[in-house]
Amino acid sequence: MEFPVRLDFFKKNTNYHLQIRGKGFSVTDPEEVSAFLGSLPGSAISVYNDTVLVKVKMLNADYFETSTSEKTNWWQNAISSISNWFGSSNPSEPNSYSQF
């Protein structure tokens, strides 16, 4: 059985994440499942008795850089929002200022 797969990999406190897309296959061959379970430590084999083994063929991998923004507290966000709402005298030009 074949199905589409998308995996998103995030790591805390990093400025990037990965997105993998491809085809997924459920592994039903007992020999392949045994080979996988044989590579695990002995205590981990009992945990995987009721699991499904999925093999993913990667077709596309994307790397995304994320920008870090300054963390602001809720009070600073509220003041900023109020300032943006009432800061402009002309509603059609919210961020324009006149100089006399």
Q: Classify residue 64: in a domain, yes or no.
A: yes
- Beta carbons of 23 and 55 less than 8 angstroms apart: no
In a domain, 80, yes or no: no
Indicate whether 54 belongs to any domain.
Answer: yes
Q: 53 in a domain, yes or no?
A: yes
Which domain, by its residues, includes 38? 2-68
pLDDT value at residue 84 = 75
Per residue in 11-69, pLDDT tens? 888 888 899 999 999 988 878 877 877 777 765 555 566 677 889 999 999 998 887 56
* CB 24 within 8 Å of CB 54: yes
pTM attached to this predicted model: 0.51
- In this prediction, residue 61 carries a pLDDT of 92
Q: Per mean pLDDT, which of 26-30, 50-54, 79-83, 95-99 is the most reliable? A: 26-30
The domain that holds 62 is classified in CATH as 2.30.110.10
